[in-house]
Each structure stands twice: as C-alpha cells, then as structure tokens.
Structure 1
C-alpha cells in the first residue's frame, strides 16, 4: 500500500494485491464439474479516495483478467447482522430477505440485482454500496456480510446439463467475449451510516457519485464581473428520474421511492412553479401549482411552465 495524496481537498491511497486464480473451468457445452489445477497470477490495484465534503469512500479496482469461467466479488463486513437488503431498482427501492423462492425449473439462489445502490441495515446502523454498472450482489454469512460482484466470466450462453436447473437456460452457444479476458476497471463507493437507507439519503448519495459535476474552460480575467443568469430549479420530496426540454416546455418526471406518502415540491428561485400533470403521451391530467401529494411508490410526470 502507498499513499498518493494527503489533502486538504482529497486523500488517496493505492493497494496492490496479488492473487492466484485457476485459469479455467474443465467442461464443455454439456456441463462443468471442476476447475483447472493450473493457476494464473493476477494483480488487483485498488484505489481508495476520500474527498472533502463527501460522506463516502470512492473505490476503483483495476484488473488485467487472464482467467476464464470465474466470478470475483468484493466482500464487506456489515456493522450489524441484518435480515435483508434494500436495493435500488427502476422507480422503486425493493426490500428483500436473505432467502429467495425457487421452483421446479430453477434452484433458489439469493443473488439479486440493484440499479444504482444496495444497502444493508438493522435500522440503527448500516452500510451501502453505490455502483457504476456492478449489478449483482448477495448478503452472505447469515446476514453479516455484503458481497458485490465485480467480474463474472462465462464461456457459454447456457449448458445442457446444469447443476442448478433441470433444463438449459438458453441455446448452447459459445460466447468468447463474455470471458472478459482484458483490462477491466470497476468503480463504486462505500457508505457507512446510521439509520436505514432513507435516513442516509442513499438516492442523493447515488446522484452525487454517479452524476459528476461537468467542467468547462472559460476565457476572461479574474476580476471580470458578470451578472448571474438562468434559474435555480429545486425539486424536493421525490427522486428525479428525468428532466428534459420537449417542444419548448420543461418536462419533469419524479417518483416516490418510499412505502409512505410524500409531498413533491418544485420551485424556481424559491418560488413555486406552475404547470400541469401529464400522462406518458403528454396529455394533460390536472393542473400543477408547485406541490403534489404522492402515494407510496407513485410516479408522476409534470410539464412545467417556462
């Protein structure tokens, strides 16, 4: 480990760790029953970064993957034992237990997907992971550890004699590119917090981590005095899904991720903005006067007055 930066704006350290991973699985399109005894050395370079004003640690892994048929996960001990997880999905945060429901055609595997973040909490303390495209996770070791999948290498779209299901999951096609034998970079952040995902405001943390501030070069002198222009749009009480211009109007779509009612409020320069609630094809449903009560998990689209 070596320290790269010590502040005051940000601190950064780099950890290099060597691993010996089996080079491949032994099998064909029918089945796969064991791993090769030959090993390949891999160096995983992990960068940890802490920036001033942020309540999370940024993590970047760089891996030159030369192994096949394997999964690499990062494991995080949880501050308290939990009974489930909260995972961000499309227009909702889904609460899941530690076990999943199987059936006659598929074994019950407690691996799940999340869209932007996954959080595990006992209500008093918790740990969240906000990720950029690392969709698979699992709560392991009886609710004491959270595993995030960084890499999953596969050689076939499906096999004919799978151990965890009686029938193939698809055609028996080789997919060489899915072995991901190349240089890879994975990014996410770790959030240790009190309370649950709601009190930690995981949606806002995900916005801050996944939507970086855009920068641009400008000309002029340091003493230039330019009048501020534009408007400050503020949205509270709901999560913004999209904000776009359409036919000269400003279209806002927001949703309430909670299981309780919420109040959507929209203002410009601290003044309530007018508009109308519309459906998915843009037909007006009701007037909008700056505030709207949302049912649990309700999605709403508002056309705002210019």
Structure 2
C-alpha cells in the first residue's frame, strides 16, 4: 500500500508509475518475447475485486482477540489522565446512561441524539494516537475535552432517566436504581430525616447507619456583595436548586458589623415546598418588625433582587436554603436491588460490621487490613507487602518505557505517617502519607546527577461492611519528570499467567511478551477494567497497564511463576518519540519534546483489590457502577421493588434503544464454555451488529464459547 499510518502517499507516485509504464513499453517493443509488467494506481476495493475469492481458507470468529493483538509496549501507561477519562466516558455511557435511558425514560428514542452525540465524541478519540496519547499536547487537550463532553452528556441523560423513574413508583421515598444485570446489596450515602433515623434506630438499633454530617433545616449558602449577588442567586435558583418554588426577600441590619459601620443585608430565603413557607416564616423572630412579606416566584425574586442591588451598591446578599426538616447525611445498607431493577429503600442491618484492629487496622470479618507505618505498605489478612510503591527513572517516550543504565529505582519512602479517618461501623478508612525522595528528572550528559525532590504520595484504603474488597485511592501532586510509578501486590498463590478483561472477552497471558530486534519484549500488558493472577483480583479506573513480577526463573520457561503483580499508576515522559534508546532503537513517531506527557499536576488514581473473588465482572460493576439514588414522589403504579429486565447466563455489554425504538441487548460469553442465556419473559430476534435479523429468540438460547450475541426484543 502507498500511504499508511506514518507515511502519506508519495506525491511523485503518478510520475513514477508513468515512467515505469513507458520503459516497459520500450522494453517489450524491442523484445516482443519478454513478459510485460503492468502497474496502475487503484483503491483497496479495486484490488480486492481482482484477487481470487473462491477456495479460500476460512476463519470463524469476530477477529477481536486481545491475546493476539500486539500493542506497543508502553502506550497503556503514558498520559494516565487520558486513560482515566476514557474509562469514565465509556463506563458512563455503557453502564449508566444507556441502560437507564432505555429502561426508564419516557421516550428513550428522544434522548438518543444526545447519546449519539456523546458516542461521536468517544469515536473521534478512537484514532490510536489519540486514545494512546502518542500525540502533541494540543491534540491530547482536545481528546480530554471530548471525553469530558461525552461524560457530562451521558450524566445528563442518566439524570433525566432517574428523574422520570421517580414518577413511576407507587410509594414515596428514596428510590434505588440498579443499572447493571446482577442483583446487588451495597453501601449507599443518603440524606435521612430525623423521623427516618428514629424509625431505623427503633427497628434495627445502631448497626444500620453511620452518620457523616448533620444538615439543619435552614442552611446559609452564601454572603456576597451587591455586585455579585444577583449572579450567585441566579446560579443557585437555576442550576443548584431548580426545585425552588418560592422565595422570600428580607432586609435586615448586619449585626455582625461594628457600631458605625453597619450595612444592610438582604436575605434571599429559598423554599422547595410551598406548604413550608408559612411554617418557616414563624421561625423568623423579628417578622413583625420587618412588615408584611410576600412569597415570590424565582423569576420575581431575581427581578426585585437586581433592582435593590442597583439602588444600593453597598447591600450585602445572604442566600438561605430552607429544607422541609433537618436531616442527616449518612451511610446505610441498600437492601437487595434486582438487576436492571428498582427498590424503595428501607433500613437494613449489616451483617459484617467494620471495626478497628490496633492503631492502624480495620476488619469486617471478611477481610482485614493493617498499615505498616515503616514503609507505607499494608497487610491483607495478615499477608504483608500490599501497596508497595516503587518508582524508577524512565528515559523512554510515549510509546515505550526505557530504564536508565544502571537503573535508578526508589523502593522505600523517607517518611510515612498513618491515621484512621473513619472507624465504621459501615465504612472504615485509613490514610497513609508517604514522602519519597525521587530524582527530579532523568540524568543527561549535561546533568548526570539530577537533584532530588520530595514527592508526597497519599493512599486512602477503604473497607465497607459486608464486602471482601479494599478500595484504594492514591493521590499526588506530581512534581517529578521522567519516571514510572507502580504499586506492587504479593500473590499468596504464585501464578504462571494472568487473566485480564478486554473488549468482549478475557485474555489469558503468559509471563513473557513478544519482542524482536526492533523492540524489547516487555511483558507490561493492558487490561480494560480488571486483571487476575493467583488469588488476587485488581479492578481499576483507567490504570490499564500491569505486569507479573518477582519471577522464580526464566519467563520463557512454562514452569516459572510470579510472586507479585505490579500495577502502573503513572508513567511520565518528555518525548512523543525518540531514538535510539535501549528498549527501541528506532523512533516510533516524530521526535518531538512534550510538556503535558510529564503529568506534572494533581492526580487521583483509583483501584480496588480482592482475594479469591469468584467473579471479576461482578467486582468491577460493584466498584465502578454503583446504585443510583432518586426520590420517589409516590405518584406512579409500579410496586416498591422489581426488575425491568432479567438477564442471566452471559455478561451484558449494552442495553440500548435502536433507531426504531426497540430494546437491544448485547452480551458475550467470557469463560470459554457453552452456556444458556436467558431473558426472563421476553422474545424477539437475534440480530447482527448491523441490525440484520439472524433468527428468532424466545426467552432462552444455547450460546457458544466466547460468542457475542445481540438481541432485539419485542415490546412487552
């Protein structure tokens, strides 16, 4: 082919072909017996039409194997901000907006243009040098912007669906929606009224709730000047509290000022319930002195506010939000919510409560964790060495990691501090602050011994009641250039291979990676949401690169095993591509220096670990796709609990609405064995990815190992 990824079609190609044809004409005219060669420029379609199309070897499948797709060795770890943004955008579309819109929106097909727009932004980022961030900083900035727009659009569609779902249930109360296929019980964070708290304590005692904060019935939001007041109040009324139905404007003397410096204060009281206005007015002690007050609509209030601020530029504006009653922000247990279903919340008691063990330890009976204050690691169920951060200098580029010679590696922090943030009973949190002395940048000929910088890394470990999962957040304001930071986890069961999620499947990989004369075979592999090795499962948000380490032999030997898994947190480089370097003698792209790829900014990196977890798909959905919470008005006809779609037997990848308004479900079989897929009480057609009908579907179907199945379901 003339023209490819790194090379445009030659501008002189037509001239060269014409010269060749002229020479062939001259040659064959003087030697008529010679074979004549013909060259012409055509398209790929024209070429395919000219080659044999019968008796060809047949390969059956979707041509999607992540096991055989050789990726460039370092693209999964550079620009971790792009990988995180991609993971959030895809997850918000696939596992939140699309299923909620399809199952709960009044007219799902009406929201489809918004989802199409969000997907278009994701597709625009699918060019490999965009999603891999092997590009100039300006290109990566545009990539991040598109992911942000896609994510926000998807959240907007999901919020609209939740709002409509809140009108469809018979009983009023907190409404829990499950956007995934499995039934779940999990920890939720909600606002509870005093009466709800009292009822829960009376029925269940203390173990069902963990109080986070108290919220008074009357909440002061802002105190601003007349110049800023109208804009601040407009933002609160339109964007933050659009449920406001009445506003009271009350002018007072500012008692906080010293005598002789008094200023007038105009209080903007916002009410979401018209019935509460009169009762709230009674709480205003000097109401009689203020004269007759009139409840205004938000638009009327904004108009009067603007006039008063214009008349008195020295006026102070105090914004006050009124709630129906005082409430408590609290953690509680959801109770079981069916897959793709709903439930009106009621108090539930946790069975495995979180409690402290020692000064820096937590347990819930299912899993235990304790911080080692000497090195910043933590033990899990008594096994030490989890969360071991190792940092090494990287002289590679956005395509490839490359160590220095000799390697410069920092394995221990200078100082470590630990503290308990929360002690339970439903959620416990431990914080580890570690200070590492790291080379500020990679050595160069002019600076062979770079200065060192103190880099603070904060790790927060979270343990919840009734879960055998440790959720971990690592945050840092990265000051260091040219380095790779990884977190290591020991394997209590040594492993000879890993198993990682890719699109529509699981990939099992050995300890060694494909290499060659032009590139080191570095066994840093990608995973979409999770990776498993030995007894360990790690699920992450965009931390795509992992490697099995601590080998006890040659990685090419099938008897060799690994004793640990390394998850790359970030990899910082100053080059788009460079060469020569030890890991790749020739550049993979343009040799340009970059600033953005050094990732010198605040970063928040999230992952979770579990031991001997039977279902990594369930783990990933639980951690990254939580239950959604709405408020039912009690105006609908649906029961207090139920499911919109009951699917079992396969992993569900998509629940969406097609262009005709039909419900479409896409699933795959990841485990490599035949299975029986079931959609309870539903029928329809089996279709391909283009929507062409392949056959009928009636509630159940036998599926092949690794099969991808798309169903178009009939209306109920």
TM-score, normalised to structure 2, is 0.39
Distance in 2 of aligned mates of 1:33 and 1:147 = 33
In the TM superposition, residue 231 of structure 1 has moved relative to its aligned partner by 4.2
Larger Rg: 2
Q: Which residue of 1 aligns with 2:43?
A: none
> 1:206-233 CA distances to partner (integer Å, 9 max, x unpaired)?
111111222235567xxx9975277431
Do structure 1's residue 244 and structure 2's residue 663 form an aligned pair?
no
The unaligned stretches of length 5 or more in structure 1 are 195-199
> Which one of 633, 639, 643 corresponds to residue 228 of structure 1?
639
**Residue 367 of structure 2 corresponds to which residue in structure 1?**
none
Number of corresponding residues? 286
Greater than 6 Å deviation, 4+ residue runs: 32-35
1:104 Cα deviation (Å)?
Answer: 2.1
Q: Deviations over 1:58-92 (max 9, x none)?
A: 00011110000100000001112110100111111
Deviations 1:91-119 (A, max 9, x none): 11100111112112211111110000000
Q: Deviations over 1:123-177 (max 9, x none)?
A: xxx1010000000000001100000000110111111211112211111112210
1:213 is matched with 627
Give the Cα–Cα distance (whole angstroms) in 1 for the partners of residues 575 and 506 of structure 2.
Answer: 32
Structure 1 stretch displaced more, 272-281 or 177-186:
272-281
Structure 1 residues 206 and 95: alpha-carbon distance in aligned structure 2, compared to 1, 3 A threshold: same
1:255 to 1:149, Cα distance in 2 relative to 1, 3 A: same
Q: What secondary structure does 1:42 align onto?
A: strand
Once residues 225 and 275 of structure 1 are traced to their aligned partners in structure 2, the CA distance between those partners, rounded to angstroms, is 28
Paired residues of 1:24 and 1:69 also in contact (CA < 8 A): yes
Unpaired segments ≥5 residues, structure 2 = 1-417, 552-561
Q: Which residue of 2 aligns with 1:197?
A: none
Q: Do the aligned residues in 2 keep the contact of 1:22 with 1:35 (CA within 8 Å)?
A: no
Residue 235 of structure 1 deviates from its aligned partner by 1.4
Mark the CA change 1:290 to 1:74 in structure 2 (over 3 Å): closer, same or farther.
same
Separation of aligned partners in 1, 2:446 and 2:708: 47
When the two chains are superposed, the root-mean-square deviation of aligned CA atoms in Å is 2.1
Contact 2:442-2:450 within 8 A present in 1 as well:
no
Match of 1:145 in 2: 564
Kept in 1: contact 2:443–2:450 (CA 8 A):
no
SS at match of 2:482: coil
Query: CA 1:33–1:88 in structure 2 vs 1: closer, same or farther (change >3 Å)?
Result: farther
| Structure 2 SS opposite 1:157 | coil
- Name whichever structure is richer in strand by fraction: 1
How far apart, CA to CA, are the structure 2 residues paired with 1:34 and 1:139?
A: 33
Please state if 1:2 is matched with 2:419: yes
- The 8 Å contact of residues 24 and 36 in structure 1, kept in 2 or not, is answered as no
Which residue of 539, 564, 572 corresponds with 1:130? 539
Greater share of helix: 2
